[in-house]
Amino acid sequence: MSQNHKGDGDNVAGNKKEIHHHYPESYQKPIDLDSPKIQVSKLPHTNSQLFGREDELALLDKAWDANQTNTLSLIAFGGTGKTALMQTWLTNLGDDNYRGANAVYTWSFYSQGSAEDKQASADEFFDAALKWFGYDGEIIKSPHDKGLKLAELINQQRTLILDGMEPLQYPQSGVMDGALRDQGLKTLCLQLAANNNGLILISSRQSVIELDGMHQPKVIPHELAHYRSKPASPYSELIIS
């Protein structure tokens, strides 16, 4: 003969059992003190699938892990997958808890356009980045000084990703020969290229001429070949053109 054993709070006479969790008043959710500060939302969303970029991913990994590279530029025409490559690498980095980064910050300049007479500005970037990296002092009016201060703050942290820099560059075919339009951005790039505890990753349709002549591996300009996939079968052949 079976017996029913009922304790306090069990389902008696159709009453639903209620379970209460009681935590001490001082209880707080555990915090991972080693978690980096990240902002990865500024990269443009792309549905592009990354094909045939194993060598570039390995190059980015080496630049990060060896800690000998201050700046790496990905140079290619539009549609070659620069942003998709950076997103994939950043996702891989995140899966590994960002491999020692204290901070990861992204920004894209694509929305400003790249017409020759376009009055592009890096002011919004500097205002947002200075605040995010912890600057709470007086307003910095000089673009040069903004670049110096942000470089100083980033150098204390780890990495910066600047996507689509060409709107802030003069056309290479013009009299300015592709130079950066913004003095603050020029100062930032030069400072971090010379001294950087992390990595600044840049994508653009043209080279950053201010960094020309700097020695590898400290500064690496990398031109992306154009890949296209041939979707003739589930095992798409990759063709380099």
In a domain, 228, yes or no: yes
CB 210 within 8 A of CB 178: no
In a domain, 26, yes or no: no
pLDDT at 118: 53
Q: What is the pTM of this model?
A: 0.76
The Cα 146–Cα 149 span in angstroms is: 5
pLDDT at 160: 86
In this predicted model, what pLDDT tens digit does every residue of 110-139 receive, in sequence order? 765 544 445 568 999 999 999 999 999 999
Whether a cis peptide bond, with omega within 30° of 0, leads into 30 is no
The CATH number that applies at residue 139 is 3.40.50.300
pLDDT < 50: residue spans in the chain:
1-13, 16-24, 26-33, 114-117, 228-241
Task: Indicate the number of domains in the chain.
Answer: 1
Question: Which range of residues forms the domain containing residue 173?
Answer: 37-240
pLDDT at 67: 87
Residue bearing tokens 């443009």 = 44
The Cα 6–Cα 191 span in angstroms is: 73
The Cα 216–Cα 237 span in angstroms is: 33
pLDDT at 170: 92
Dihedral sign, Cα of residue 132, residue 137, residue 138, residue 143 = negative
In a domain, 21, yes or no: no
